[in-house]
Structure formats: structure tokens, C-alpha cells
């Protein structure tokens, strides 16, 4: 498939029905017809519970759901599909690791390294688990001038008490892309594991877990054209086998024997050990269709297109330098298609509300990264525009011109 955003837009029914410039892709993406159809097809043609029935519908549903794991494994270049666990979203994936690996392995005095650019989803689970275990969190700074991670500070923070480094691959505010390979290499030297929050990176650039070398990768389906309520936790089989289950219930057990008036459960094999109860079958199938759609386009093409849009948007926003303050790295090589900004003299929520009046959808506030905003001195937050495959240069022109008008008329 060649890459033409105008052509791609035709795959998204919402753009035929709603007149909007959709720049809120870091929050959630629109869905192509193939994904909507996959979900609809499941419910209309083979809806059944998985792994529990001998009838044809259950067999078909089980096969489709299992195949969905294989597709996602291929999408992130995993060695084995059993390394792919379906969860609700990135938040649940990180909580799974925190409550299983974290509670088992963290002790009083141990350290968990995070960065100030993390989403609350990669802060709060560690805050809770550190509080329970007596471990402590250490925060790696970013460089205020360009939003890049302070690698020197990171390397200095690596002590022999560090058990885990939990870091985002791409900031959901600044768009900063972190050098995960470098983080992994340094962490390996002290025997710390690395958890990567891939919520913003996985949908927008090629990500190979084998190349990254990290131990955990978490991402959400709804940010990569898939349905809401489905996401992925990836880890290596040896780590997953060592971990205790996150939740108990059906499908995560192989057997529950009744012995001496007590129960003796045996955990199921991977990945089912971590997928208790009836899963989001339709969501998993829809997500696999989204991954196939993206693979057909090519993740290199996705990244290339977003680099082009981001470079163009940054250049055009420079024209408004006196009125609009833009945050994050200046070089597109170091950032994804996320641009957070503030119109000087205007609250970010008011800016978003005004943009909405002109049919431009953006997000405002702290974007679930309040510590980062406070670190940067942005007490009111920021307004964020974020791009995806169906966005165009023309939309950026309209956005920048509207922003100029808002800055002129409302400040």
C-alpha cells in the first residue's frame, strides 16, 4: 500500500460524517472500517466464549482470539506469541507488572527509576508498590531547554539498589523519544530490568522488542486504531513464567483440585495465566485487524509521514513565536507527532475550547503528566496537538492560521 493520507482518510468512516480536524490522537485514534467491521463481524457471525466450548462458534472465536496474539507478536517483532498478554490498556499492563513482579521482587531500600516525563500510569503503580514494599522511586530529570532526557543524570542514578527502570519510549506531552537501547544497556550493567511504556511510541514508529532488549513493553490498542479496552503487555517467557498471576479466575488456571478439604490450583500456560476470566474477545480481534492495517501501510511510512507533519507544524508555529510557546525537542528526529504549546496570556483549556469552536479537536490540561508540567513551571498545563496517519499538511495550515486568529482576538 502506498502512503497517501488523503487515500487513508477514506478508510475512516468518521471523516465522512464529522467535519473535524482531529489532532487528539495521543488520547485516542479514529478507527478504520476494517477494525469496525472486524468487531461487527465477530458479534454478528461467530460470537462465543473462547476456550470453553466444543461447538463451532467457540472454536472459531478461540482461533481468531489466539491468532490476534500472533498478529500482535509479529507487530512488535516478539519471538513467541505466548509473550503477548492482552490487557485492558497500558495502565493495566503496568499495574500487572507492578503488582506481580514488583510486589515479589522489590524490598525495603530497593530503588525504582522513573523519569519526570512519565504519564501518571507509569508513576502511580510504582508509587503504590514502593509504599507497600519500602522501596523508593528515583526521578530522572529532563533538560528544560529541549525536553530531552538528561542521560547523565540517568546514568548517575543507577546504583546497585536499582531493581527496575520504568520509562516511556515517547513522552505524551513533549513528544520526546527516549533512547531505550541506551537505557537498557546501562541498566543491564547493574542487573536492573527495564519496563517501557510504549503507549505513544508503538502506534507511531517501528518497535522491535528484540532490538530494544527491554524486559517489559506496555501499549494500548485504542491509540493505534484499535478498539478501546484492549492493550498489550509483552515480556519474555522466562520472566512471565516466574511471575505470579495478576488476577485469579477462569481460564488462568489449568486445574483446581479438591484435596483434603482445600483447593490446589495449577496455573494455565502463557499467556492465559495472565488473562483471567472472559477476555475482551472482540477487542483483541479488532486490535489485530488494526495491527495488520498498520503493517500493510508500513510503520516506517507512518513514522516518515508524522515526521513530515511535525517538522511542518513546528516550522509554521515558529511564525507565531511571539504569541505561542512550543515545548519539547526542536529536531524531529528526537520527537514524535505530539506538539504541546501555550498561547501566551490564554489558559490552555480556553485555547482548546476556542479551537473546538473552529472544529479543531485538541487536548488541554496536564495530559496525565502533572509532575512534568510542574517541573517545567507550567502550572496551568498545556494545549496538545497530536497527529496520525490520516492528518494532512493542509490541516496543519488551518490549525496554525486558527491559532494565529485566536492569539490575535483573545489575548
Partner 1 sequence: MRTIDLRKKGEGCTDHPVVRLSKLLSSIERGESVKIIVFKEDIPAKALQLFLKSRGFRVLDLKDREGEVEAQVLKP
Is residue 130 flagged as an active site residue? no
Residue 389 CB: number of other CB atoms within 10 A? 26
Nearer to partner 1, 30 or 364 (CB): 364
Nearer to partner 1, 188 or 357 (CB): 357
Query: Greatest CA separation found in the chain?
Result: 78
Name 409's Cβ contacts closer than 8 Å, sequence gap at least 6. Answer: none
Nearer to partner 1, 172 or 268 (CB): 172
Written as nine digits, the cell of 364 is 488541554
Residue 121 Cβ vs partner 1, minimum distance, rounded to whole Å: 15
Report strand pairing: 324-326 vs 338-343. antiparallel
Q: Taking CB under 8 A as the rule, does residue 19 contact partner 1?
A: no
Residue 350 Cβ vs partner 1, minimum distance, rounded to whole Å: 5
Q: Taking CB under 8 A as the rule, does residue 380 contact partner 1?
A: yes
Name 395's Cβ contacts closer than 8 Å, sequence gap at least 6. Answer: 21, 23
Q: Taking CB under 8 A as the rule, does residue 327 contact partner 1?
A: no
Among 47, 58, 370, 402, binds partner 1 (CB under 8 A): 370
The 8-class DSSP code of residue 88 comes to S
What mask, x for binding partner 1 by CB under 8 A, covers residues 334 to 353?
A: ------------xx-xx--x
Q: Taking CB under 8 A as the rule, does residue 398 contact partner 1?
A: no
Among 50, 217, 343, 354, binds partner 1 (CB under 8 A): 354
Long-range contacts of 132-135 (CB under 8 A, 24+ apart): 132/103, 133/102, 133/103, 133/106, 133/107, 133/108, 134/107, 134/108, 134/109, 134/110, 135/106, 135/107, 135/108, 135/109, 135/110, 135/111, 135/163
Q: Taking CB under 8 A as the rule, does residue 325 contact partner 1?
A: no
Residue 198 Cβ vs partner 1, minimum distance, rounded to whole Å: 24
Q: Taking CB under 8 A as the rule, does residue 386 contact partner 1?
A: no
Residue 73 Cβ vs partner 1, minimum distance, rounded to whole Å: 36
Q: Taking CB under 8 A as the rule, does residue 219 contact partner 1?
A: no
Written as nine digits, the cell of 122 is 507509569
Selected catalytic residue, list 347, 368, 380, 402: 368
Nearer to partner 1, 250 or 365 (CB): 365
Laid out side by side, the sheet with 193-197 consists of 84-87, 231-235, 216-220, 193-197, 162-168, 111-115, 136-140
Nearer to partner 1, 159 or 356 (CB): 356
Nearer to partner 1, 149 or 378 (CB): 378
Among 157, 364, 383, 386, binds partner 1 (CB under 8 A): 364
Phi-psi region of 261 (alpha: psi -120 to 50; beta: other; left: phi over 0): left
Q: Taking CB under 8 A as the rule, does residue 47 contact partner 1?
A: no
Chain centre distance of CA 110: 27
**Helices 393-410, 299-318: inter-axial angle, 10-degree rounding:** 30
Residues that bind partner 1 (CB under 8 A): 346-347, 349-350, 353-354, 356-357, 364-366, 370, 380-381, 409-411
- The catalytic residues are 368
Amino acid at each position: 500500500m502506498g502512503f497517501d493520507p488523503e487515500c487513508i482518510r477514506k478508510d475512516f468512516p468518521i471523516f465522512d460524517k464529522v467535519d473535524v480536524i482531529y489532532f487528539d490522537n495521543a488520547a485516542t485514534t479514529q478507527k478504520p472500517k476494517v477494525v469496525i467491521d472486524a468487531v461487527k463481524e465477530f458479534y454478528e457471525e461467530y460470537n462465543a466464549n473462547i476456550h470453553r466450548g466444543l461447538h463451532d462458534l467457540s472454536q472459531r472465536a478461540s482461533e481468531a482470539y489466539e491468532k490476534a496474539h500472533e498478529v500482535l507478536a509479529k507487530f512488535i517483532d516478539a519471538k513467541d506469541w505466548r509473550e503477548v498478554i492482552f490487557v485492558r490498556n497500558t495502565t493495566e499492563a503496568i499495574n500487572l507488572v507492578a503488582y506481580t513482579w514488583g510486589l515479589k521482587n522489590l524490598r525495603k531500600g530497593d530503588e525504582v527509576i522513573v523519569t519526570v516525563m512519565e504519564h501518571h500510569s507509569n508513576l502511580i503503580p510504582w508509587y503504590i508498590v514502593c509504599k507497600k514494599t519500602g522501596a523508593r522511586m528515583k526521578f530522572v530529570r529532563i533538560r528544560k531547554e529541549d525536553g530531552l532526557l538528561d542521560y547523565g543524570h540517568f546514568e548517575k542514578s543507577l546504583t546497585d539498589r536499582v531493581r527496575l527502570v520504568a520509562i516511556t519510549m515517547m513522552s505524551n506531552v513533549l513528544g520526546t523519544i527516549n533512547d531505550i537501547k541506551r537505557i537498557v544497556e546501562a541498566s543491564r550493567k547493574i542487573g536492573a530490568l527495564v519496563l517501557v511504556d510504549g503507549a505513544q511510541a508503538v502506534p507511531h514508529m517501528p518497535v522491535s522488542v528484540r532490538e530494544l532488549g527491554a524486559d517489559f513493553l506496555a501499549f494500548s490498542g485504542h491509540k493505534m486504531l484499535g478498539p478501546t479496552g484492549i492493550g498489550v503487555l509483552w515480556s519474555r517467557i522466562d520472566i512471565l513464567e516466574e511471575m505470579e498471576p495478576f488476577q485469579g479466575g477462569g481460564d488462568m488456571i489449568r486445574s483446581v483440585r479438591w484435596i483434603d478439604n482445600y483447593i490446589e490450583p495449577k496455573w494455565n500456560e502463557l499467556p492465559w495465566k495472565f488473562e483471567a476470566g472472559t477476555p475482551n474477545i472482540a477487542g483483541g480481534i479488532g486490535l489485530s485487524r488494526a495491527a495488520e492495517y498498520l503493517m500493510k501501510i508500513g510503520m516506517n511510512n507512518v513514522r516518515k509521514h508524522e515526521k513530515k507533519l511535525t517538522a511542518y507544524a513546528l516550522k509554521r508555529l515558529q511564525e507565531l513565536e511571539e504569541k505561542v510557546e512550543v515545548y519539547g525537542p526542536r529536531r524531529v528526529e528526537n520527537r514524535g507527532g505530539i506538539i504541546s504549546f501555550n498561547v501566551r496570556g490564554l489558559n490552555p483549556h480556553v485555547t482548546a475550547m476556542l479551537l473546538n469552536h473552529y472544529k479543531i479537536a485538541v487536548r488541554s490540561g496536564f495530559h496525565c503528566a502533572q509532575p512534568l508540567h510542574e517541573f517545567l513551571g507550567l502550572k496551568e498545563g498545556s494545549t496538545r496537538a497530536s497527529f496520525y496517519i490520516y492528518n494532512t499538511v493542509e490541516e496543519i495550515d488551518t490549525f496554525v492560521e486558527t491559532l494565529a486568529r485566536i492569539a490575535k482576538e483573545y489575548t
